[in-house]
Structure 1
Amino acid sequence: MELLLILNKFILWCYICICYLYSDHINAAWFVFTSLAYLSINMSIYLFKKTQLKYSGIWLSMILILAASFQVDPFFMLLLPMNLYEFFSIYINKKWMLLILLMLPLAVISHSLHPAYFLAASFHFMSVTITEQYVQRAAKLESALDTMRKDIHRLTKSLNDYYEYMKQSQYMLQLEERNRLAQQLHDQIGHAMTGALIQMEAAKRLLDTNSYKAKELLQNAIHISKDGIENIRTTLKHIKPRSEQMGVNRVKLFIEEMAAQHHRHIPLVCKGDLEIITPIQWKIIYENMTEALTNAMKYANATVISIEIHVLNTLIKMEVKDNGKGADKIKKGLGIIGMEERAASVNGMVIVDGTNGFSVTTLLPIQKHEPVQT
């Protein structure tokens, strides 16, 4: 703001110098002296830090302008509006009142100076007012930006704390699961193996003296061992998640992340017996769904992207469909070619349709498992 005031004063002073050079005045020494005094006083105003000294400099400058306008050159009166604005803007906030105060000297100056004074006062008032508005707007934007920085820093910290909490929670869950598994193995399998070992030790001692009793003890040990092995199988079966649970949960997690990141509605529909989908088929379904969903987010301009996994009698259907702009002519890129190659690896296929939105359908044959001969 101070730089603008200095620039306005310098421009008007240059204009006064040009007018003086083309006038008939001959008191050049007094003009130079008054100009230097004015420039010195107004430059010192912006060097003072104390408000009282600034006010004194403004008053001295206005007195000098009034004296010079009557004794040296009337055009010095054009510099008065800037000092008036500097002084009264401290006490008056209403802009229209400031403009009226700047125009009051029109009542006492020569009529020949009225146009020039009016233009000088108006130019200074408008330039300073517009600059103040932009400065205030910039200050508000800077304050809002600073608030956003603080919010981002706070949210980042909260997110990091949340991730750290998730890691600790996951680690604690793993420890608890390991402890539960160790306790279960100790209570069920450990006791069974200990009982079987005792039976076999007793049978060893009775083998020479009482073979019948020894065989009975060995048979008991065999039964205990079989029960222990069956307990191991049951425990591992309960611990290991089913393939369809792993596949569906992985798909749901990815869809939730994409929906939250891109602010899109992505419904998921699952139909049929998902248990018959093999792990390799789940891998193909997940990778093709990821590719199709990512492409829809980038190019479709869609508001809804629906995903359906449907297990039919002879095949598995996975469709990703959006309500976007679609495509009249489909050009297969690396993404679609990659989806086709993945599906073809298990004798499946991919169908792409660009009418009424865009859809990518992956078809995989259901693998028939022959019973194992024992």
Structure 2
Amino acid sequence: MEIWIIITKMILLVYIAIQCAQVNVIHISWVVLAFLVYFCANITLYLFKSHTVKKVLHVLSIGILTVAYLIVNPLFYLLLPLTIIELAASFIDKKLAVLLLSLLPVLYMKAWLQPIYGLAACLSFMIFSITSIYGEKLVKNEAQKDEMRKQLQKLTKHIHENSEYIRQSEYTFKLEERNRISQEIHDKIGHSMTGALFQMEAAKRLVETDQHKATELLQNAINISKEGIENIRLTLKNMKPPTEQVGIHRLKLLVDDFNAKQTIKTVLTHEGNLDIIAPIHWKIIHENVTEALTNAMKYSYATQVSVNLKILNKMIRVEVKDNGAGTEMIKKGLGIIGMEERTAAVNGKIIVDSTNGFSVTTLLPLGT
């Protein structure tokens, strides 16, 4: 804002200098002195941030211009309106009052100078008002940017804290799970194996003196070992999550990750018995959905994508459909070709449709 006010003052100074040169002012040294004093006072004005100092320098400038008007040249009064406006704006909020105050000196000056002074006052007021409005908007925008930066820093900090909490939670859960498995193996299997070992050690000592007892002890050890092996099998079976839980969980993670990284809203729905989906089917479903979502992100210009998994009587149907622009002619790139090859490996089929948005449907026969 200040730069435009300085430019305005320089233009007025140049105008006054040209007018003084044209009329061949006798005391040119006084004109130069008035120029220098006014210039120094106004340059100093913009070097200080204190409002009190600024007001004092504005009053000094008014005094300099009044002396220059009376002694050197009346045209120096053309610089007076902008100085009055700057001073008045610091303690008067109403702009009309500031304009009237800058026009007040016109009542006490020479008649031939009044029109020029009025024009200079109006132009100075317009320039000051425009620069003030622009300056206020600039300050407001900077304040908003600072606030947004602070909010962004807070959000980033919260994200990092949440990410760290998630990592710590995952690590804690893993430790707890390892501790649970260790305790379960110790309680159910460790005692059985120790008992079997004692039975075999005793049988070893009796094998020469009492073969019947040794045989009995060995049989006990065999029974205990069988029971321990069965416990191991049951423990591992109970710990291993069902295939359908792993498959649908991976699919949900894929959709959630896509939602977090992209602006496209993605919705996953499923219906039917997930237990009958084989691991190879889950692998193909996951890879095909990944490829379809990637294509939707790159080419569809969509705002929403739906992923629907449906178990039918004799097949699995997975549709990835977006609400994008679609295309008149479908060109099969490496992505779709790869999906077709993966699906064909289990006698499945890929259907691509672009009549309403773009959709890729994977059909997988059950029992393959």
Residue of structure 2 equivalent to 1:198: 198
TM-score of the two chains, using structure 2 as the length reference: 0.90
List aligned pairs for 1:171-190, cutoff 5 A: 171-190=171-190
Aligned to 1:266: 266
TM-score (norm 1): 0.88
Between the aligned partners of 2:331 and 2:200, the Cα distance in structure 1 is 73
For 1:304 and 1:224, locate their aligned partners in 2 and report how far apart those are by CA, in whole Å: 60
Q: Determine if contact 2:5/2:127 at 8 Å carries over to the other structure.
A: no
List aligned pairs for 1:97-176, cutoff 5 A: 97-176=97-176
After superposition, where does 1:171-250 map in structure 2 within 5 Å? Answer: 171-250=171-250
Equivalent residue for 2:95? 95
Q: Which runs of 4+ in 1 moved over 6 A?
A: none
Aligned length: 368
Sort the Cα spacing of 1:204 and 1:62 in 2 relative to 1 into closer, same or farther, 3 A. closer
How large is the Cα RMSD of the aligned pairs? 2.5
Aligned to 1:317, the other structure's residue is in SS state strand
Cα offsets for 1:97-129 (capped at 9, x unmatched): 111111112223344333322221122222222
Name the amino acid aligned to 1:137.
K
For 2:256, the aligned partner's letter is: E
Q: Please report how far the alpha carbon of residue 71 of structure 1 lies from its aligned counterpart in structure 2 after TM superposition.
A: 4.1
Question: 2:42 — aligned with what?
Answer: 42
Following superposition, the deviation at residue 14 of structure 1 comes to: 0.5
- Greater shift in the superposed pair: 119-128 or 25-34: 25-34
CA distance in 2, matches of 1:151, 1:311: 46
* 2:317 partner letter: K
Unaligned runs of 5+ in 1: 369-374
Who is 1:372 aligned against? Answer: none
Q: What whole-Å deviation, never above 9, does each CA across 1:225-284 have from its counterpart, x for those lacking one?
A: 111111111111111112211110011122123234445543322233323333232222
Q: Secondary structure at the match of 2:266?
A: coil
Deviation of 1:170 (Å): 1.4
Question: How far apart are the structure 1 equivalents of 2:154 and 2:34?
Answer: 59
Shift in Å at residue 320 of structure 1? 0.5
Measured in 2, the distance between the counterparts of 1:295 and 1:82 equals 63
Identical positions, percent: 51
Cα deviations by residue, 1:121-172 (Å, 9 ceiling, x for unpaired): 1222222222222222222222222222222222222222222222222122
Per the alignment, residue 79 of structure 1 pairs with 79
1:67 alignment counterpart:
67
- Call closer, same or farther: CA 1:272–1:35 in 2, change over 3 Å: closer
SS at match of 1:267: strand
Q: Which whole-Å CA distance do the structure 2 matches of 1:274 and 1:45 have between them?
A: 79
Trace 1:289-368 onto structure 2 (pairs within 5 A). 289-368=289-368
Partner Cα separation in structure 2 for residue 302 and residue 47 of structure 1:
55
The unaligned stretches of length 5 or more in structure 2 are none
